[in-house]
A and B are shown apart, each in its own frame.
Chain A
Amino acid sequence: GNSVTQMEGPVTLSEEAFLTINCTYTATGYPSLFWYVQYPGEGLQLLLKATKADDKGSNKGFEATYRKETTSFHLEKGSVQVSDSAVYFCALSGGWLTFGKGITLSVRP
């Protein structure tokens, strides 16, 4: 079946640091890949997505590239801000969303 594996957290960074959050997946067929973000006490919001191999999703300075050869969709941002503190979920869609366990990012001033 489908599954998503995210790196273990939590992650704590200083403002303006570089961010990488690793995500790998196992799936049959050709799933679409997503990153969702969850702020405290709220639901999830779509951050970015990619629907086929080599696609790059980007939004709000975040980027992720769909790598079929390594079955990965790592999230990156060149300079994080305090407002980026949240929980980040990697997910794949083969009809419905299958999520990783999420990782908490804390950015300190």
Chain B
Amino acid sequence: DGGITQSPKYLFRKEGQNVTLSCEQNLNHDAMYWYRQDPGQGLRLIYYSQIVNDFQKGDIAEGYSVSREKKESFPLTVTSAQKNPTAFYLCASSIEAAPGTEAFFGQGTRLTVV
């Protein structure tokens, strides 16, 4: 089955530690995205990538980093510089980053920093 796999589903980390969230897709999509979801805030774009080896900052990129070394993979690192990292993180992909293009989402990773 084609789709997007995020792992793990739940993640706990101590304050001050970096943590990497995994996102893999087998849809052969060029574009991939990371969103953060907080209660009452909707989804906010962290980073997006239109093609391998290229990525752009979204609205809330501070304290996060990404890489896109392979078409199917777009890992997100939450660094210790992110002031409030506890949230639900969603990865998505689309055929291309163009208007009208449907995005497909993974099941999300809930990160809790204690």
Min Cβ gap A7→B in Å is: 13
Contact A95-B99, Cβ < 8 Å, known A89-B43, A101-B41: yes
Residues of B within 8 A of A42 (CB): 107-108
Residues of B within 8 A of A89 (CB): 42-43
- Size bracket, chain B contacts: 20 to 34
- Find out whether the CB atom of B102 lies under 8 angstroms from the CB atom of A49: yes
Residues of A within 8 A of B92 (CB): 43-44, 97
Report the separation of the CA atoms of residues A109 and B98 in the bound assembly, to the nearest whole angstrom: 41
Residues of B within 8 A of A93 (CB): 98-101, 103
Residues of B within 8 A of A97 (CB): 33, 43, 45, 92, 103
Chain A residues in contact with chain B, CB under 8 A?
29-32, 34, 36, 41-46, 49, 51, 89, 93-102
Chain B residues in contact with chain A, CB under 8 A?
4, 6, 31, 33, 35, 40-45, 48, 58, 90, 92, 97-108
